[in-house]
Structure 1
Amino acid sequence: MASPFLLLVVAALLWPPAVAAPEEHLVTGLPGFHGAFPSKHYSGYVTVDESSERSLFYYLVLSVRDPATDPVVIWLNGGPGCSSFDGFVYGNGPFNFKPGSSPGSLPKLQLNPYSWSKVSNIMYLDSPAGVGMSYSLNKSDYITGDLKTAADAHKFLLKWFELYPEFQLNPFYISGESYAGVYIPTITDEVVKGIERGVKPRINFKGYLIGNPATDVDYDFNSFVPFAHGMGLISTDMYEDVKASCRGTFFGTVDNLCQEKIDRVRWELKDLNKYNILAPCYHHPEIQELEFSNSSLPQSFRRLGETDRPLPVRKRMAGRSWPLRLALKDGHVPMWPGLAGRSLPCTSDEVATTWLDDEDVRAAIHAKPKSLIGSWELYTARIDFTHDTGTMLIYHKKLTGLGYRVLIYSGDHDLCIPYPGTEAWVKSIGYQVVDRWRPWYFGDQVAGNY
């Protein structure tokens, strides 16, 4: 019979370790929320460059179910330039945010029954430096791009797992949406190369999941006209007309007649929320003017009363109205706030801004004050970003070929990265279909298809 001492040693080796997270990062309460958290929260900075104090901000919500064994999932919003607090406040975070009782008052926080923290340790990362609560004391760090963002995120992860060694054996996944379709494969590539080199701590990386991912210009943005027709947003006559004029190519280098027909389609869709065509669109008239400032449409086409002011003359580029159409072209990426003097068109960010600009909130989550890093912005113009990696198809082929698990999913009402383009590039990778297309259910209701 084994001795009691031996049994204790074996138990200590097999039993999941208690959370050993840095106590100075523990979030003990949040303005607007009353009651106890269902699980522990941690937040703070991880410095990825000591010389400039370039530091990335994270917010971690431990799993309500079993933090010692549940996966660690990192969430990234896109942009480039969008804070991942977008997902925290408006998406899969631990709370639902309700507007305050009066203008400017703090929102009320209620527990989100659909939070991803129900089944995972989920962490929201503001990346790169200059986005959200992340910052650098050297503003030249805000000149960045895909490759630097990926390298910094990998440095962050290595240091973060040193801070939280109890999670080094947990399955690790990277998740996000939109331009995170570029962030995630490039960060994953850095992580995988680190694993292959034997970099410590070893990250127990298992795969990634991306919603409506920006991936490849030809696939992503040639799908918006067929998508608009399929959703009944434009008439069949208009669709057949533009298809004949453009010979099936709706983005990139096109002739003047095709460009005019594309602009006519865009004009018909201008009042829609491009990120969810069923949702309200919060915008100002000048945004419409900006989006069509380089349009080939004659003034006579615009319906009476929509605008009678002349539009400024600018160099015309196909697909100008969606910033991501420029973001996926190699080279400098213009930020929407810099172009329009505000955040994303159709996007209401008042609740998040009110909460995250409150100094008591910042103190509670261990974020720097506005006097040092400025106001929180859903989508910032602080960074100067270059898309320097090209198509993501090369990354997806490599990473799936190595056996990592990948989930690509799409909201079927997203006009910015329409699902038909995503389906097309996924098919182009060449994997065989192993199961038929079928609905999935939430309760007894069809919630989508896969």
Structure 2
Amino acid sequence: MTRKVKYAVILLLVVFLLFTLIEISGYYYGKKRVVKKIYPIPSMYQRVLIIAPHPDDETLAAGGLIQDVVKFGGEVKVVVMTNGDSFKRAVVENYGIFDPTPQDFLRLGYERQKETLSALKYLGVKKENIIFLGYPDKGLAALWWQNFEKPLLSYGTKKTCSPYVNSYSKCAKHIGKNVLKDLKSIIEGYNPTLVVYPHPNELHPDHWATNSFVKYTLYTLKKDQIPQFLYIVHRNDWPLPLLKQPHLNLNPPPSLLKTGTEWHLYPLSKEEVEKKGKAIAMYKTQMKVMKDFLLAFDRKTELYGFYSNGKLKKYNKNLNFEEYKIILDPVKDNLRDYENGSLDIIAVYGYMKDDVMTIAIKCREKAREEYEYSVNIIFFEDYKEVKRQSIKFKNKKIFPLKAKGFIKNGILYISFPVDKEFDAIYLSASTFSGKKLVDKTAWKLLKKIQ
């Protein structure tokens, strides 16, 4: 190796280390950030409902909060949406089986249930307050939309209904309607004073879909005013550093600091941090696969966000276009084709003009006709769903045909007649390259302004 090459290598290493230190420094407690702190509120802790997409999410997100609720004499109920049974890598790492059968995945699901029971018992949650719904791991996003009424075949167990003997609804078909039915029954019966569940900007499909199912249920039950803490588990390069650092804050992902969420740090005592770390270690099947990631949540704070509903305004020629903004989306968070700014959504706009709704999608770079842009909408009237609709635009063509789509100044506009009376909508926008999802906004509830 020549002297010049050596110097070049050394320079690259120095640049890399400096960049890493700058990135990590933002996660230290002493770093100034615009993040408020929220402290235990005993009045909220009477009946706390924590909803987790998979076993361990409830402990990662709220292991300290659970301890506070118990300490203040409140009650905690935990609902686990899936048993995390379609995780092939976990089967391979734990059982040494490289070509798992449905029975192997089922075995993993039961094992993960046992870990949840042990960890939550250690944190003070009663066994009778732990509910397993048994819906398909890696399938909640499909149940939310494509398989809302049509049964989904589980990737792991190869079943279209829950094969678990202890599921909340025995042999429940894998359809979205059943998920809503179960959540409605649980929430009505428990009447929670605080609901803790995933944030809509979660990257994992099971997590953002859990948010959608819970938000939908709270709204249709007219319980949307109940205090809600939203947590994050899966984002790109978060939380940093990926190892146990109990002296650090669990600060919000930088990309989500200016996208409409009010973030709060929830302080934990030294004893709570230590106990949470021991509870996380009880998820042995996952510790073998992602130990450093799991332990990165054992910090001296937990992180919760508040994500407010929005408004769908009437069109007014005197309003600035920016006043119609309804969703802010993180920059450069697209899952695939990372550098393609034409597929990286940064904002969504919407308004009504008579009985025509217009939705505009703005990306980091100008929208291009060869890509697919879509909007999924649920319409509500008097807290009841009255219609679901998908609109897709690609190659100057739009579906359904009654809709109109065009690109102006790099922004995609989609307009379509609304044939149902409604007073609120639930909406998300997505982009695709071929058949592959590239970017997706959070789902957001919007009240129609009369």
TM range (shorter): under 0.3
Structure holding more strand per residue? 2
Alignment TM-score, normalising by the size of structure 1: 0.24
Alignment TM-score, normalising by the size of structure 2: 0.24
